[in-house]
């Protein structure tokens, strides 16, 4: 256990430091994008799919081409529960067949659900992309928290539209801003802002240059 910890620390992985700085920075940015896609893709797509007037003409393809027999919001909830069931099943399945179980179940169930008209193809597609982003999150606990918040955003968006999405994400950000671990702000160095430390969040700089301890913890010896 490493404390104190920030939101950005939980998005970093040892793989980034086993590669050259340029490759490590690219992997980090891709991982950041995957995590934020896992959080916001579904509620945003639902918002645009149900309120087409919010989209410019160039993005009119976003939405459902084939409506399922189940309401769109219920489709997402059922699919989320299905993914969680598959994850639990794979945990309790021997490793030799766990991967095959996940692939076969996902392909067969998803395909049959579309064929019988229960789900629209877009729901399966976007939920699969969001699930990949969840699995790309280095911290398992953070991935669970993000999955919970994704469902909260989806429920708020389904209930109140644009207002629900904006309010739910704003409340989420306020909670993260107010959160502290051992007196270290959870969103540091974004809030409070520190440009030098923020550079190290998004870019994997060379290890010889990481010769200073984070100023936010007020170290007695600032040099590593």
Q: What's the 3-state SS for 172-213?
A: HHHHHHHCEECCEECCCCCCCCCHHHHHHHHCCCCHHHCCEC
Residue 96 has pLDDT above 60, yes or no: no
What is the per-residue pLDDT for 98? 57
Query: Would 112 be classed as within a structural domain?
Result: no
What is the per-residue pLDDT for 67? 63
What is the per-residue pLDDT for 4? 81
**Domain of 165, in residue numbers:** 9-55+120-217
Q: Which of 23-32, 88-97, 119-128 is the most confident on average?
A: 23-32
Of residues 33 and 1, more confidently modeled = 33
- Asked if residue 81 lies in contact with residue 113, where contact means CB atoms within 8 angstroms, the answer is no
Query: Would 102 be classed as within a structural domain?
Result: no
Query: Would 73 be classed as within a structural domain?
Result: no
What mean pLDDT value characterizes the chain? 81
Q: How far apart are CA 125 and CA 132, in angstroms?
A: 11
Model confidence, pTM: 0.82
Query: Would 48 be classed as within a structural domain?
Result: yes
* Side-chain half-sphere CA neighbours of 113 within 13 A: 22
Query: Would 63 be classed as within a structural domain?
Result: no
Number of domains in the chain: 1
Average pLDDT over residues 67-90: 79
Query: Would 47 be classed as within a structural domain?
Result: yes
What is the per-residue pLDDT for 146? 92
Q: Which of 116, 137, 181, 177 is nearest to 39 (CA)?
A: 137
Of residues 120 and 96, more confidently modeled = 120
- Determine which helix (DSSP H) or strand (DSSP E) holds 170, and give its type and residue range: helix 140-178
Query: Would 91 be classed as within a structural domain?
Result: no
Q: Which residues contact 174 (CB under 8 A, 6 or more apart)?
A: none
Query: Would 110 be classed as within a structural domain?
Result: no
Q: How far apart are CA 48 and CA 157, in angstroms?
A: 10
């Amino acid at each position: 256990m490493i404390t104190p910890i920030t939101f950005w620390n939980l998005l970093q992985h040892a793989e980034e430091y086993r590669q050259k700085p340029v490759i490590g920075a690219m992997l980090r940015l891709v991982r950041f994008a995957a995590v934020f896609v896992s959080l916001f893709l579904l509620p945003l797509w639902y918002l645009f799919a149900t309120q087409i007037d919010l989209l410019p003409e160039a993005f009119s393809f976003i939405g459902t081409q084939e409506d399922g027999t189940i309401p769109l919001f219920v489709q997402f909830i059922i699919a989320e529960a299905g993914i969680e069931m598959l994850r639990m099943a794979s945990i309790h399945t021997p490793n030799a067949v766990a991967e095959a179980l996940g692939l076969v179940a996902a392909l067969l169930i998803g395909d049959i659900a579309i064929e019988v008209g229960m789900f629209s193809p877009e729901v399966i597609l976007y939920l699969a992309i969001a699930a990949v982003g969840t699995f790309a999150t280095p911290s398992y606990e953070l991935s669970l928290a993000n999955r919970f918040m994704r469902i909260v955003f989806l429920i708020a968006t389904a209930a109140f539209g644009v207002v629900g999405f904006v309010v739910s994400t704003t409340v989420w950000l306020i909670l993260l801003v107010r959160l502290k671990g051992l007196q270290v702000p959870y969103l540091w160095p974004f809030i409070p802002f520190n440009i030098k430390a923020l550079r190290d969040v998004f870019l994997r700089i060379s290890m010889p240059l990481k010769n200073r301890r984070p100023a936010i913890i007020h170290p007695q010896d600032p040099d590593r």
